[in-house]
Structure formats: structure tokens, C-alpha cells
Amino acid sequence: MSTRPKKKAHPSKVSRKKTRSRQRKTAVPASVASIRLRLYSYIFLAVILVFGLTIGGYACWYPTGHTPSDTSDTPSGVAQNGNNRETETQTNSLPSGTMPKISSSSDASTTNLDSTGNSNGNPVSGASEEPPSAKRLVWYYVPGKNHQQPFIPQSARELMAKYNGIYLGSPDAKRIYLTFDAGYEMGYTATILDTLAQYQVKAAFFVTKPFITSHPELVKRMVAEGHVVGSHTATHPDLTTISEEKIDKELETTEAAFLAATRQPLARLVRPPNGTYSEKVLATLHSLNYRPVFWSMAFRDWDVKNQPTPAKIFQDVTGNIHPGAVILLHNVSSSNAQALPNIIVELKKQGYEFAPLSDFLQ
């Protein structure tokens, strides 16, 4: 019995079959590769987001090993102060029970930059008459090496000079300024005050309205022991997101609460919440006769659920200290309260002198 011979497949059909076979074999790996690529992209974006939140606001430094130029806005070169200023003799403390008086200096829109970047009240030639910008800015610095002053962007330094901002003292004297933000109470402020009294150190406290109304006894003690007390606003808002009228109300209600609690006027110094500001905000503060106070040293110490150890706080402060440092700490930090005695002893041992913010009010 004869059998019919099998037909041979046409070459084009064989080619198509092989192609489909290869596609089926590579389809799964391609899908897996796509999923992996997406996963890696999400992880990368998450890391960037977390990192951005970590260095934003209070932390405010660049993760770079390079120290930027003092006259630029970009991190490159070596930070140096090109000008020198003779150190003037200042009082070490405020009289007990008194607050500093802040008088409006010559037009803040025409002030020169001194060697520290703080306003010296001298006119700036060709000062801009344009309306102040509402662009949101965040205060930051790049730590210096070997206890040198940090890099502050030139644009920020110019705004601080124009609107009498405070953020750094003289590079020529080992005078440093200890400041605390007191938005609320966690039970450590009394211990901090005890330590300051024991070592005869004067500090500045920036308080919110709720802190004043909830803990008037602590605020009264700050005043009685000669510390400067300034405003941290009433509700701790981002000042760049509210109107001039609301900024005024934030400050006015805090002033009223302080006056009611202490029978003393609040120092007309304000620490902008989270270090956010704009030129428009600075102009508004100046029109209200307030001076903004920023910082040249700050650490991630405000998270009460994730506190660094006291040893880490000690290392951060003593390792980054520099002449003229304006140190920002938070009263809600248990580690700050524990580390503060050792910090004060060590910095005095290194020859630093704790000075009051009234140095900047002369």
C-alpha cells in the first residue's frame, strides 16, 4: 500500500514559525526586564524624595565634600571671607528681666554686606527698586572644613544684608550664639534652662503662641534669667504661603500672648518656620520692624520619635563649631537636653564664648 509523501513547508512559512517561536521565548524575559526597570525607577525616586525631605528645612546642607566659593550660589572652590572687620566689644548678657530693643536702622533696602554677611547699615550703591520677589526659598548652608565658617549662597547673603537678617557672627572672634526653637513642650525645657543657669550661658528662645499660653512659667523664667525671647509665629506656617496681613497677625498675636504672660515686650526677632522665606516675606518682616534669624549650624534633632543619641549631638555640635556660629537646637529633643552640659564644657574648653543675640542689635 503506497503512502502519500508529506508536503514540505514553504520556506517563508518556516521562517514565520521560527520568528513566532523566538518571540514567545523572549516575551517573558522582556516583560521581567520591564518590571525590573520600573521597580528600580520607583526605588530611585523614593530615595531622592526621602533624601530631599531629610536635607530640607532645618538640616539645610549639601551632601558634598567640596566647599563652595563664598561669592557664588554654586558649590565650587574654597570658602573664604574676603573682608575683615575689627571685633567690637559687646555686652555678654542682657540684664535680668529685660528684653533687647530693636530699632529700625537706615533703609533696609540700602544696606551693605559686612564680612559675616550680616547687615552693617551702610548704603548699597544701585539698590534695586523692583518689587520684592515672592519666589519661595529655603535656607541652607554647606559646612566648612576645619572649623571654618560655612558657605552661604551669595544671593542669600545679599538678601540678609538688605533686610537686616541674622545668621552668622564675626569670623574674627570665637563668639557663638546658642538658639532654641520652642514650638511645643516635651518636658525638657526646664532642664535646658537649668543647664544654662549652671554654666552661666545666655541663649535665645524662639517661641510660638501655643508654647507661651501653655507654659507661661517657662517663658517667664526665660525672661527672668536674661535670655532673649523671639517669635516663632503663632501657628508655625510657611510664611511664603500666606498674605502680608496674615504674617502680621501671626506676629501680633504672639506678641500679645507674650506681653500678657510676662509683662515684657517680645524681642522683635523672628525665626521663619522651617527656614522657608522669600524676598517678599523679608520685606514684610522689615516693614513690621522684625529681623529674621536663621542659622549657620543645625541638625536633625526635632523628630521626637527618632532622636539621635546624645553622643551624636555632642559630636555634631563640637565637630562643626566655627567662629560666629548661630547654633539652632530644638527644645523638644531629649538628646539635646542630655548633651548640652558636655557641649558647653567642651566648647568653652576650645576657647569659644557664648554670646547673646544682642551682639547683632548694637
- Domains parsed from the chain with CATH numbers: 57-78+104-125+134-361 (3.20.20.370)
What pLDDT digit, counting tens, does each position of 251-276 carry? Answer: 999 999 999 999 999 999 999 999 99
pLDDT above 90 (res 141): yes
pLDDT above 70 (res 96): no
pLDDT above 50 (res 42): yes
The C-alpha angle 298, 302, 305, rounded to 5 degrees, equals 140
Task: Find the mean pLDDT for residues 92-110.
Answer: 33
| pLDDT score for 4 | 54
| pLDDT score for 38 | 73
| pLDDT score for 129 | 73
| pLDDT score for 22 | 52
**Cα dist from 314 to 58, 310, 317, 327, 346, whole Å:** 18, 6, 5, 13, 9
Task: Find the mean pLDDT for residues 333-354.
Answer: 98
Task: Find the mean pLDDT for residues 122-139.
Answer: 74
Q: Is 107 a catalytic residue?
A: no
Q: Which residues contact 24 (CB under 8 A, 6 or more apart)?
A: none
pTM over 0.75: no
pLDDT band at 134 (very low <50, low <70, confident <90, very high): very high
| pLDDT score for 257 | 98
Residue in the block written with cell 533624601: 51
Q: Is 181 a catalytic residue?
A: yes
Q: What is the DSSP string of 62-88?
A: ---SSPPPTTSSSS-S--------PPP
- CA-CA distance, 157 to 116, in Å (whole number)? 9
pLDDT band at 361 (very low <50, low <70, confident <90, very high): confident
Catalytic residue, chosen from 215, 227, 232, 330, is 330
Q: Say if residues 196 and 188 touch (Cβ distance below 8 Å).
A: no
| pLDDT score for 102 | 35
- 334-349 vs 310-320: helix crossing angle, rounded to 10: 40
Q: Across all residues in the chain, what is the average pLDDT?
A: 79
Cα end-to-end span (Å), the chain: 121
What pLDDT digit, counting tens, does each position of 221-230 carry? Answer: 999 999 999 9
- Reference 72, options 14, 132, 152; nearest CA is 152
| Segment holding 349, helix H or strand E | helix 334-349
Q: Which of 64-68, 275-279, 354-358 has the lowest mean pLDDT?
A: 64-68
- Reference 160, options 326, 354, 330, 356; nearest CA is 326
Higher pLDDT, 153 or 11: 153
| pLDDT score for 158 | 98
Task: Find the mean pLDDT for residues 208-234.
Answer: 98
pLDDT above 50 (res 218): yes
Catalytic residue, chosen from 70, 181, 301, 316, is 181
Residue type for position 23: Q
pLDDT above 80 (res 231): yes
Task: Find the mean pLDDT for residues 339-347.
Answer: 98
- CA-CA distance, 306 to 53, in Å (whole number)? 15
